[in-house]
């Protein structure tokens, strides 16, 4: 009977009651948590703000609920407006954050584009930290004040230019994108990038293809040379920083790099770095592509067909469009490649044709081409696809300088 005494059914009953009570309180807590999300507090505050500063009607018209812009084409849901409540009310321009109206950005439509496509952040989220992307496992932080400060930009919206340029990539000059515009200007003025880099399918093969460089993941960049400096300097260890440092001094970031050193100002280098970040392969719905850029520019061949050019004029066009002018001048002195003035007289014409059509093959087999390759710092000439007519036109164009 002593064993029987060790089992007390009442004890089980007490524990059962205790844990039932605990479960009850847990359920209450869960309901409380569910009923009081962060966004609701913002909406209550906003309601109060409307009552005090705008009108009673507008306050009572506000329904407390999750608000979102749903963009099926972009596979995005932006719930930012659950807290940024005055975004579409122009009379709230002077309201405090997060209730202030969004500045006028016509012709862009917030209802068609949402928020995160420009500002970054996590549109799905409803808590401030999650939504602003200040958490682990979200790679697109808010391109706002906090991040701009980390990079030392005076303009808190500076980084949004990167998002703008994803759509406006083909614009020469986009109003409001000072740094990107500056970078684009550098690109068209000096445009030596294509000597070594392919951009949009054109260019040399010595460097990386830059067409969609903005999609390259952080782990594929070599930070070994700049890591310590960045951490000590309190700068973000990021791809954007990498691009900046690399434009400022390519060899310091990638030892043995053949990329020429150009003295850029800080602003220019940041602009170029931002331009790189913006070159991304994003499937844009047709409605978001800037109108004037929906048509492709005519190719040189099409130009020839429509505007009858003389062989020399066509050759000039080709010399520039097929990237010859990136490295060669005709009578302008040696640049990356030799000056081509008088080349048709000193070289055998057959050798010249082969050299233009298949430079990469020639540099491996032909002794003269090999010698030139060594002489010009081993920067190889990229192969461009040319038709027989195009080849002759280029040669005619180079020849036209002989008499001058």
Partner 1 sequence: MKIKEKLSSLWRKLTWTWSPQSNREASESVVRNFWLHWFPSRISLRSLSWGYSLWLGTVAASLFAILTITGVLLLFFYIPSIQNAYWSIKDLDNVVVFGWLLRGQHRWAAHLMVAIVFFHLMRVFFTAAYRDQRVWNWYIGIALLIVTLFLSFSGYILPWDQLAYWALTIGMGIARAIPFLGKSINFIFVGGNVLGQNSLLRFFVLHNFFLPAMMLFLFALHMWRIRKDGGLACMDRLIHETGLKEVPASPTKTYSLLGVTEGTTIQASTTEVLDESNSVRSSPHLVRRIALVFLVTTVITLILAMISPAPLEEFANPSVTPIPAKAPWYFLWLQELIAVTTIKIGKITISGALIGGILVPGFLLLLAIVWPFLDRSPKEAIGIWFHKKRRIQNAVFIFICIVITVLIVIGLYLRGPYWIFFWPWQPWPEIPTIF
Query: Does residue 75 belong to the site contacting partner 1 (CB under 8 A)?
Result: yes
Report the residue number, 6 or 188, with the smaller CB distance to partner 1: 6
Phi and psi torsions of 152, nearest 5°:
75, 30
Tell me if 365 contacts partner 1 by CB under 8 A. no
Cα 292 to chain centroid distance, Å, stands at: 21
* Cis-peptide into 98, omega within 30 deg: yes
30 binds partner 1 (CB under 8 A): yes
Under the criterion CB under 8 A, does residue 4 sit at the interface with partner 1?
yes
Gyration radius from the chain CA atoms: 31
The secondary structure element, H or E, covering residue 44 is helix 38-53
Q: For partner 1, which residue of 13, 212, 261, 351 counts as binding (CB under 8 A)?
A: 13
Residue selected from 46, 87, 99, 223 as contacting partner 1 according to rule CB under 8 A: 223
Q: Which stretch binds partner 1 (CB under 8 A): 236-244, 322-330, 350-358, 387-395?
A: 236-244
33 binds partner 1 (CB under 8 A): yes
Length of the chain: 404
- Of 242 and 264, which CB lies nearer to partner 1 in the complex structure? 242
Q: Which stretch binds partner 1 (CB under 8 A): 30-38, 183-191, 305-313, 373-381?
A: 30-38
Residue whose C-alpha is closest to residue 246's, from 197, 287, 199: 197
The tokens for 401 are 């300088």
What the block records as the tokens of 323 is 């990237």
Residue selected from 38, 102, 134, 138 as contacting partner 1 according to rule CB under 8 A: 138
Q: Does 10 bind partner 1 (CB under 8 A)?
A: no
Measured from the CB atom, is 75 or 388 closer to partner 1? 75
- What DSSP string describes 158-201? TTHHHHHHHHSTT-S--TT-HHHHHHHHHHHHH--HHHH-EETT
Q: CA 361, 365, 368, 369: dihedral to nearest 10 degrees? A: 20
- Does 276 bind partner 1 (CB under 8 A)? Our answer is no
Q: Which of 83, 95, 143, 269 binds partner 1 (CB under 8 A)?
A: 143
Expressed in angstroms, the distance from the first to the final Cα of the chain is 125
**Given the rule CB under 8 A, which residues bind partner 1?**
1, 3-4, 6-7, 9, 12-13, 15-16, 19-20, 22-23, 26, 29-30, 33-34, 66, 75, 77, 79, 120, 124-126, 130, 137-141, 143, 147, 159, 217-219, 221, 223, 227, 231, 236-240, 242, 277
């Amino acid at each position: 009977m002593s064993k029987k005494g060790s089992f007390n059914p009442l004890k089980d009953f007490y524990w059962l009651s205790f844990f039932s009570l605990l479960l009850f309180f847990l359920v209450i807590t869960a309901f409380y948590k569910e009923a009081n999300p962060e966004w609701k507090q913002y909406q209550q505050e906003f309601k109060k703000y409307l009552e005090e500063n705008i009108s009673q009607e507008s306050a009572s018209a506000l329904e407390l609920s999750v608000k979102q812009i749903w963009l099926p084409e972009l596979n995005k849901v932006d719930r930012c407006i659950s807290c940024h409540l005055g975004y579409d009310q122009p009379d709230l321009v002077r309201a405090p954050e997060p209730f202030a109206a969004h500045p006028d950005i016509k012709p862009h439509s917030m209802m068609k584009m949402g928020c995160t496509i420009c500002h970054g952040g996590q549109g799905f989220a409803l808590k401030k930290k999650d939504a602003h992307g200040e958490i682990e496992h979200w790679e697109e932080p808010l391109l706002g004040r906090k991040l701009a400060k980390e990079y030392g930009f005076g303009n808190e919206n500076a980084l949004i230019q990167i998002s703008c340029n994803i759509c406006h990539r083909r614009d020469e000059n986009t109003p409001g994108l000072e740094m990107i515009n500056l970078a684009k200007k550098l690109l068209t003025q000096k445009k030596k990038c294509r000597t070594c880099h392919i951009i949009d399918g054109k260019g040399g093969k010595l460097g990386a293809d830059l067409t969609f460089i903005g999609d390259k993941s952080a782990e594929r960049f070599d930070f070994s040379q700049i890591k310590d400096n960045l951490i000590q300097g309190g700068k973000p260890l990021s791809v954007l920083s990498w691009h900046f440092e690399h434009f400022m001094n390519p060899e310091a970031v990638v030892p043995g790099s053949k990329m020429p050193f150009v003295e850029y100002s800080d602003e220019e280098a940041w602009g170029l770095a931002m331009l790189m970040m913006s070159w991304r392969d994003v499937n844009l719905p047709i409605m978001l592509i800037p109108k004037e850029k929906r048509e492709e520019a005519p190719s040189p061949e099409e130009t020839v067909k429509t505007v009858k050019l003389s062989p020399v004029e066509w050759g000039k066009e080709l010399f520039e469009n097929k990237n010859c002018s990136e490295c060669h001048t005709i009578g302008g002195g040696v640049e990356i490649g030799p000056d081509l003035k008088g080349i048709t007289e000193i070289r055998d014409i057959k050798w010249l044709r082969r050299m233009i059509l298949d430079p990469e093959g020639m540099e491996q087999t032909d002794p003269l081409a090999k010698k030139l390759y060594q002489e010009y710092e081993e920067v190889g000439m990229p192969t461009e696809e040319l038709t027989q007519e195009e080849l002759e036109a280029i040669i005619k164009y180079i020849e036209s300088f002989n008499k001058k």
